[in-house]
Amino acid sequence: MHPFSTLTLGIFVAGYITARWDLVTRLYELAIFAWDYGVVSRAAKGFAVLTFVFLAVFIPVQRLATLEANLHDGLMRVFWPADLPRSNLKGVVVGWRNSALDVFVVAILDEVEPRNVESALKLGTLFRNAPHPVSRIYELCGQSSLYVLGLSNTPETVEIDPSWVRVTTGPGHRVPSVSCARASSIQIILFERPLPGRMQYISLNPIALALGDKQDSFRNDFSESGEEEEEKQERLNKKKKQQLVEKLKDHSVIKHVPSAKERALAKIVNQMNWAWELEKLIQKNVSRIGTRPKRSLSVSERVVESATTMRDMALVWLWDLMVVYVLPIIRRIFVLGLMCHRIAAEMMLRVLEWRARPRYAALKDISATAQQVEIRLQQFCYWPMQYVTLRLRKNDWESVTTSHPDYIRFYNSLWLVANDVIIGIALGSYIIDNSDWVAEEISRLLSTYTVDALQSSISWLMGWPAGLKLNTELAEFLGDLFLWVIDYWSSCIETLHPALPHIVSIIGFSSFAGASMPIALLSDLLSILTIHIYSFYLASARIFHWQLNILISLFHLFRGKKHNVLRNRIDSCDYDLDQLLVGTILFTLLFYLLPTVVVFYLNFAIARMAIISLKAVFDTMLSCLNHFPLFALMLRIKDPRRLPGGIRFELRDTQDFRIAFRDPPRQLPSTSVIYLKSTPLNFKAMFHQYFQMGNRIRKHYLSPRVLLCLLTGEFVPPLNRKNLYSLQYSMLPARRAGVMEMWDAVNSLPGPKRRAMPIYVPALANGKRLPSNYAGGRSRSYA
């Protein structure tokens, strides 16, 4: 302050005090009064209390608040479509804001004012002319609206909202540089947008090629029919593992509560699937934001537009005529025909599924042909329902991905049936053309392998095979017995011989219904024509088993022991001399007779095993024809992004990225560039069901239990057909829709859309008009 003005101020104050001296004395008195009555001490106390409160409450609260604000440690996550158009123009970044520092970029709108974009987003201008309801977007993307997320290519000088991001991008930059006032480190996650028009999509979990509701119902079936040993073992193992998993849960010391960012992943995957369609829609409507330079149409353009309008109107009129008068009739007739077939199919299915008692086998459990017919009928019943669901897909946005597995399943089964029929026609025409030769060949094979080979092997066994001295009398007895039955059987087959060409031609005709039909018929024919081998196997197995049992108990007697049935253990026992003598003699006799029985048993067991493996080959062929993931394999080769098997991330080097952005003077926050890629479904998952079936067959037939059964002559149970065919049914729902349900579904289909007028008819040819692509979706643009 200037010394002179200080002097002036001093003179003024001194003069004022002398002029108002009584005010000063009053103040002095007041001070003395206050001192006398303890005001000062009280004020000091109050000050102390306030200071304490400030120190103890306000400062910690403020500190906590800052900590809370920085809790997300400034990590910003930006999802950025790698195939977003890159331009040097100034733009507004629009997208979803999943949480404060978790943004998902949908589009960059060039050359618009952020203020206008915000108001347009609020008013919904950007979603004008949307082909389907807009609320569906918000519902599936899990957000209530799009936001302005930031600005692109704006100079540093422009002040922006602190929560907005500043993006620098351009044609030369593969990765945008992003900064935000609030973020201390940034993850840029780049992804290629899946094209919804091509049914590409991204998913966290592998796409399910089989219908999911099967496993439980099959499990239930097993628990009803008395589960097998391996199944039980498997279940027990699973239970044990489940207990271990439960125990492991208790080991986690710190329970981490997932934050909003971590829970958002499923939503973000949906947003990625929507990104393409949404961007297209928004870019189409950008012209509605703010004022843009507009141009009226030239005269020639107007002439062209009027002419095309005329043509379009004529076309629409013709189309309407078709839709209103002709199409409903065709549709009606088709639906009625379909329903008739459906009712017939229902009746046949009832016959195939009929069981005399609940626990008895139905026809489809016994015969492969019945099973095949049943699968085809079930598929026929399921197709209309699938088609209806797929048709309803058209009434929704293309980005809704829930029905894509259905699509793949539907076309896979159609393809398989078509393939089956094509192969079947080729096979059938060959069989019919050469039916005599085929019949001749079949009868020759039958007589060689099921009669002659068996006869010669039995006669070989009767005459001391391989130098093995068997008991001649017993061998002759058994051999004569079997030979006699074989003779009888071969005469039966002889009577069948003239009918064989007819049977073969029937098989040939059946193969026009698919190559799987003759295979199933052959499988059944094989089991009918080898029934004698089956019975021989049963008989010899019985004899062998009895003899073995008797030998074991006599061996106990030989040692002076016996089997205590009540306690299920071996007790010692005092036999009399005559008991011991007779038992030992019998033991010796039976023991020496055992090899003879064993060789006969082995002979038939091997024949039986050969037939079982032949039938297994047939069944494998059937399951390949009925269930091979053909369509999925083709898709995997053609467009792997249609079969998503999960996602994977790649961390990119940030060195080159930093060099590219060295020129801007500002300090970029520490940034990691991550690429998100969709991994296609691997082949193992595609053939998962085959592996499962193979495992089941292996467990059933190649287990030590089966070997034990074979050694002791017990009957080896064939694999449960239901078990084997769980694979084939995995394409079908557990419960088929009834006739009425199908009727309702077919009738619920929306009719073909009446096309709206293509574009509005120009009322006045003069005046200022907007370019025709202004109107968005339905109008055409001049290319």
Cβ-based neighbours of 474, under 8 Å, separated by 6 or more: 593, 596, 597
b/e sequence 713-733, b meaning 16+ C-beta within 10 Å: bbebeebbbbbbbbbbbbbbb
By CB under 8 A, name the one of 565, 651, 740, 764 that touches other proteins: 651
Nearer to other proteins, 185 or 220 (CB): 185
Cβ atoms of 675 and 649 within 8 Å: the answer is: yes
* Residue 17 or 236 with smaller CB distance to other proteins: 236
Query: Is residue 85 left, alpha or beta, with left meaning phi > 0 and alpha meaning psi from -120 to 50?
Result: beta
Q: What is the dihedral of CA 684, 688, 692, 697, to 10 degrees?
A: -70
Tell me if 203 contacts other proteins by CB under 8 A.
no
Q: Does 135 bind other proteins (CB under 8 A)?
A: no
672 in contact with other proteins (CB under 8 A): yes
CB of 650 to other proteins, least distance (A): 8
The verdict on 674 binding other proteins (CB under 8 A) reads yes
Q: Least distance (Å) from other proteins to the CB of residue 68? A: 8
Which span (1-9, 157-165, 223-231, 236-244) binds other proteins, by CB under 8 A?
236-244
The angle subtended at Cα 696 by Cα 694 and Cα 698, nearest 5°, is: 70
Per CB under 8 A, does 73 bind other proteins? yes
Only one of the segments 73-81, 125-133, 437-445, 630-638 lies at the binding site for other proteins (rule: CB under 8 A); that segment is 73-81
Query: What is the strand order of the sheet 147-152 is part of?
Result: 177-180, 165-168, 147-152, 91-99, 102-110, 75-81, 185-191, 670-680, 644-652
Binding mask 162-201 for other proteins (x = CB under 8 A): ----------------------xxxx-x------------
Distance CA 104, CA 587 (A): 86
Site membership for other proteins, residue 299 (CB under 8 A) = no
Smallest distance, other proteins to C-beta of residue 278, A: 22
Q: In this structure, what are the phi and psi dihedrals at residue 176, rounded to the nearest 5 degrees?
A: -70, 150
Strand partners, 108: 93
Residue whose CB is less far from other proteins, 257 or 577: 257
Residue placing its CB nearer to other proteins in the complex, 167 or 202: 202
Q: What is the size of the binding site for other proteins (CB under 8 A)?
A: 46
CB of 239 to other proteins, least distance (A): 11
Site stretch for other proteins (CB under 8 A), options 12-20, 195-203, 650-658, 696-704: 650-658
User: Distance (Å, rounded) from C-alpha 137 to C-alpha 319?
Assistant: 32
Residues in the chain: 783
Amino acid sitting at position 175:
V
* Other Cβ atoms within 10 Å of 373 Cβ, number: 22
Q: Is 560 helix (H, G, I), strand (E, B) or coil?
A: coil
> Among the candidate windows 27-35, 149-157, 331-339, 640-648, which touches other proteins by CB under 8 A?
640-648
CB of 702: closest distance to other proteins in angstroms? 25
Q: Does 648 bind other proteins (CB under 8 A)?
A: yes
Decide if residue 495 touches other proteins (CB under 8 A). no
Greatest alpha-carbon pair distance for the chain in Å reads 157
What would the x/- binding string for other proteins be over residues 75 to 114, using CB under 8 A? Answer: x-x------------------------x------------
Q: Taken in order 250, 252, 253, 259, is the CA torsion positive or negative?
A: negative
Stretch that binds other proteins, among 249-257, 466-474, 581-589, 693-701 (CB under 8 A): 249-257
The answer to whether residues 199 and 407 touch, using CB atoms and an 8 Å cutoff, is yes
Interacting span for other proteins (CB under 8 A) from 71-79, 384-392, 561-569, 628-636: 71-79
Q: Give the footprint of other proteins on residues 712-751 (CB under 8 A).
A: none
Query: Which C-beta is closer to other proteins: that of 332 or that of 648?
Result: 648
Q: Which is nearer to other proteins, 646 or 771 (CB)?
A: 646
Q: Is residue 258 a contact point for other proteins (CB under 8 A)?
A: yes
Using the rule CB under 8 A, is 272 a contact of other proteins?
Answer: no
683 is a contact residue toward other proteins (CB under 8 A): no
Stretch that binds other proteins, among 1-9, 127-135, 252-260, 695-703 (CB under 8 A): 252-260
- The structure tokens listed for 267 are 């939503």
Q: Tell which one of 119, 395, 670, 773 touches other proteins (CB under 8 A).
A: 670
Query: What are 746's two structure tokens?
Result: 């077919």
Closer to other proteins by CB, 2 or 684: give it.
684
Choice from 572, 655, 747, 781 touching other proteins (CB under 8 A): 655
CA-based nearest residue to 616, from 704, 513, 696: 696
Cβ distance to other proteins smaller for residue 248 or 577: 248
Using CB under 8 A as the binding rule, whether residue 659 contacts other proteins is answered as no
Cα distance between residue 375 and residue 729, in whole Å: 8
Query: Which residues 6+ apart lie within 8 Å of 697 measured at CB?
Result: 616, 719, 724
For residue 204, state whether it binds other proteins (rule: CB under 8 A). yes
* 742 token code pair: 């199908």
Asked whether position 304 contacts other proteins by CB under 8 A, the answer is no
Choose one: 297-305, 309-317, 355-363, 647-655; the region binding other proteins (CB under 8 A).
Answer: 647-655
Per-residue CA distances from 658 to 105, 154, 178 (Å): 21, 19, 12
Give yes or no for residue 636 binding other proteins (CB under 8 A): no
Region for 199 from its dihedrals, namely left if φ exceeds 0, alpha if ψ lies in -120 to 50, beta otherwise: left
Beta 102-110 vs 91-99: how paired, if at all? antiparallel
591 or 649: CB nearest other proteins: 649
Nearest approach, Cβ of residue 74 and other proteins (Å) = 9
Q: Of the candidates 1, 158, 248, 356, which one interacts with other proteins according to CB under 8 A?
A: 248
Beta bridge partners of 563: 570
Smallest gap from residue 235 Cβ to other proteins (A) = 14
Question: Smallest distance, Å, CB 258 to other proteins?
Answer: 5
Q: Tell me: does residue 122 bind other proteins (CB under 8 A).
A: no
Report the alpha-carbon distance of residue 106 to residue 123 in Å, rounded: 18
Could you tell me if 167 and 177 are in contact, meaning their C-beta atoms sit under 8 angstroms apart? yes
Residue 263 found at the interface with other proteins (CB under 8 A): yes
- Report in angstroms how near the CB of residue 212 gets to other proteins at its nearest: 16
Spatial separation of the C-alpha atoms in residues 550 and 162, rounded to whole Å: 94
Q: Which residues pair with 572 in a beta bridge?
A: 561
Nearer to other proteins, 266 or 303 (CB): 266
On whether the CB atoms of residues 79 and 192 are closer than 8 A, the answer is no
Pick 27 or 266: Cβ nearer other proteins:
266
Residue 728 · residue 375 · CB < 8 Å: yes
Q: Kindly state the tokens that stand for 236.
A: 């027990």
Side chain identity, residue 638: K
Q: Which amino acid is at 152?
A: S
- Judged by CB under 8 A, the residue of 262, 487, 571, 656 near other proteins is 262
Binding residues for other proteins (CB under 8 A): 64, 67, 71-73, 75, 77, 102, 184-187, 189, 204, 238, 241-242, 245, 248-249, 251-252, 256, 258-259, 261-263, 265, 646-649, 651, 653-655, 658, 669-674, 679, 682
